[in-house]
Amino acid sequence: MLGHSKASVPANVSTRATRGTRVDSPTRTSQAQSTKPTQALKPHAGFVGVELGVSAYRQDNKITLTSSDSSVNFEDYRYSRNTLGTNVGIVSGYRGFFTSWFGLRVYANLNYTQTMDSNSFYIINYRTNPPTITNLSYDYSLSVLNYGANLDLLFNVLTIKESKLGIFAGGGIGGNTIFTNKAIVSAKKNMGIDKDALYDEMKDGAFTGLDAWVNCGFYGIFLKSHSIEVSAKIPFIPLQAHNSTRTTPGIQNRTIHFTNTWNVNVRYVFAF
């Protein structure tokens, strides 16, 4: 009996030890680690991107009578023209996510837009023999550089495996340089302004002014470092390209403004 009880004690201890090793086994530890979720993006990273899209511009030509002389009979002249162009650009900056759903980014942008817009017609003079034909063409094309600094708020709204979908909203401030020589010369033809009387105003045909805009859109982040975005940019400051005064008849103020009304781009961004 005594020998049997001595033998049973080690057996019981061995059984407990075996059970204990099952709790801390390498296999179960590995399984627990494998269930840890992986990150779908880099929470803090610099980034660069390229974009391609469409921009809309409006040209406003206006002549107003400012004379108080009631004997002067002159009607205000207003002419507006809308045009579309292709824009390409680059962005570079830094983004950070502070929670699983909220972040922000700061970045600089440089965009180039080229519009293609012309109006051609001809006049036939039947009083001559043979009739003479005069061809007239107005070229309203623009070349525009836009540059500035931006701040956007980022909101992740959906996570699918290692990808995230979200929306962003923000704004920017910067400048526009518009190369408008052809467009302004055509506008002045319509307004009856003598190009040779403009002195140095039209020497280079490039005009720079302050610009500010609102950003919004949505994005998809995949493979941590890559993202595709569809963005809209809506500026709200027009650029004055011409302002002159003529005293005959009356006192006329003549202005030409260019306004970038909206932009829609598709953008690829790489985070590093």
pLDDT at residue 112, as a whole number: 97
pLDDT at residue 229, as a whole number: 98
pLDDT at residue 183, as a whole number: 63
Whose CA is closest to 107, among 166, 172, 169? 172
d(CA 181, CA 188): 11
Burial (CB count within 10 angstroms: exposed 0-12, middle 13-18, buried 19+), residue 232 = middle
Along the 272 residues of the chain, how does pLDDT read in single tens digits?
Answer: 444 444 444 545 444 444 444 445 554 544 444 444 445 567 899 999 999 999 999 888 777 766 555 555 555 667 778 889 999 999 999 999 999 899 999 999 999 999 877 555 555 666 677 777 665 556 667 889 999 999 999 999 999 888 999 999 999 999 999 887 666 666 666 555 554 444 444 445 678 899 999 999 999 999 889 999 999 999 999 988 777 776 665 667 778 788 999 999 999 999 99
pLDDT tens track for 83-96: 899 999 999 999 99
pLDDT at residue 269, as a whole number: 98
Task: Please check whether residue 57 is in contact with residue 144, taking contact to mean a CB–CB distance below 8 angstroms.
Answer: yes
pLDDT tens track for 195-248: 444 444 444 567 889 999 999 999 999 988 999 999 999 999 998 877 777 666
pLDDT at residue 201, as a whole number: 46
Give the predicted TM-score (pTM) of the model: 0.71
DSSP per-residue string spanning the chain: -HHHHHHHHHHHHHHHHHHHHHHT-HHHHHHHHHTSPPPSB-SEEEEEEEEEEEEEEEEEEEEEE----TT-----EEEEEEEEEEEEEEEEEEEEESSSSEEEEEEEEEEEEEE--EEEEEEEETTSSSPEEEEEEEE---EEEEEEEEEEEEEEEEEETTEEEEEEEEEEEEEEEEE-HHHHHHHHHHHT--GGGGTTTTSS-EEEEEEEEEEEEEEEEETBTEEEEEEEEEE---EEEEEEEE-SSS-EEEEEEEEEEEEEEEEEEEE-
Phi and psi based region of residue 65 (left: phi greater than 0; alpha: psi -120 to 50; beta: remaining): beta
Tokens 């983004």 — which residue? 95
pLDDT at residue 241, as a whole number: 77
pLDDT at residue 192, as a whole number: 59
